[in-house]
Structure 1
């Protein structure tokens, strides 16, 4: 799980904090990040939340996320639902600014 490994290595102590959040040993988080252990389904949503969406459920379960979380299929692959709602507002704001310039 390269994306989890990268996220963990970006800041000292992240693995320990994630382990505490998941109520698992830090060594288990390290094994998930290295690919030695698969990420249990019950931790996927928690990891996505803890990483602020950097490591998503789609990353964690690339082969079957659609059947587990079908609601994720309604968003584009590179945006979260919150960002999808913000984009039209930003476009409208920019259009209004351009019209008044």
Structure 2
């Protein structure tokens, strides 16, 4: 049986802190290498932290790819929400759906 995903309310709290970083990344072009040999160590450390949390839900899927999908989806939700392109009223439902999909077994 796969691990139980965190409730959307906890995930919502986890996304509120990084929102400033997300906003900065979405608003400005960054010239940083991602996923390469010369990727700065803080970026690698951040990805590893995400990977350690997401990998438990991989269930035979590539944990690194699943982590990239999770990061991308959260990033998109944050950017679109901050830009007013997603209604605030659906935030909890979107996070719940995302967590359900990421933790689903094949």
The interval holding the TM-score normalised by the smaller chain is under 0.3
- The normalised TM-score by structure 2 is 0.23
Which structure's CA Rg is the greater one? 1
- The normalised TM-score by structure 1 is 0.24
